[in-house]
Amino acid sequence: RNLFSGAGAVLSQHALFGHSIRSGKSMRFNTGVKGDELFFIVKYGPVHVSLNGQERDLDKGSVVFLLPGDEVVFTNKRKDDVEIYEMQMRSATPDPARGTGAGPSFMMDWYDMEYRPHDRGGVRQLFDRKTVMTNRFDIHITSLNPGISSHPAHTHANEEIILMIDGEGEMILGEKKQHITTGDAAWVESMIPHNITNLGKRPAVYFAIQWN
């Protein structure tokens, strides 16, 4: 399903999709050297992933980043469905040298991500790098304790997607307050005040995906 699609100040086209893969089936992604840049999050796994000669089983919260021209295959070896998110990114001024110079396509297992606790919960900083489509692509995962706010409502120049992977909360977006729960995504424009407060009785876990 298409969670949203549109354009922003940096990306001429970006979209977020949810995919279900049935037992014994595979999904292959390759946009070509002049195609979109792709970012994947495992919503429900484990799912077997083949990327650039590497083979791994990735569980919930694990990620894959795919440069244009590369290929990734997700294979479901379970007896029930697995689910992944796919984020597509396209810029009017792509820079292949900038992207490949920052490093290759890659995957990261949830269990390999360093967790750093703090007084509100904790954070996993996945990466912060240049890409073909962006000057800076920054991903971190926040774990927010019950009853706690991420921070006072603030603004930043980066555009951002918030993707809740576990829990529920109230999100301030500009002058509005909106309920956000597992599987929901929010689009935050540049310089729009925003924050999240955990309304649940367990930690709320969400991806913060920023770029400029």
The per-residue pLDDT for range 99-114, each reduced to its tens digit, is: 999 999 999 999 999 9
The answer for 53, left when phi > 0, alpha when psi is -120 to 50, beta otherwise, is: left
pLDDT of residue 4 exceeding 90 = no
User: What is the rounded CA–CA span in Å between residue 211 and residue 89?
Assistant: 10
pLDDT band at 48 (very low <50, low <70, confident <90, very high): very high
pLDDT of residue 137: 95
% of the chain surpassing 90 pLDDT:
90
Question: What's this model's pTM, rounded to 2 decimal places?
Answer: 0.94
Assess whether pLDDT exceeds 90 at residue 54.
yes
CB atoms within 10 A of CB 4: 12
DSSP 8-state assignment for residue 70: -
Pick the closest to residue 75 from 109, 16, 29 (CA basis): 29
More confident residue, 116 or 8: 116
Q: What is the pLDDT of residue 58?
A: 98
Going by pLDDT thresholds of 50, 70 and 90, the confidence category of residue 146 is very high
Q: Tell me the three state secondary structure of residue 97.
A: helix
Average pLDDT, the chain: 95
Q: Is the pLDDT of residue 140 over 90?
A: yes
Average pLDDT over residues 3-29: 94
Rounded average pLDDT over 70-84 = 97
Q: What is the pLDDT of residue 180?
A: 95
Whole-Å CA distances, 72 to 28, 115, 160:
6, 27, 25
Mean pLDDT of 158-176: 93
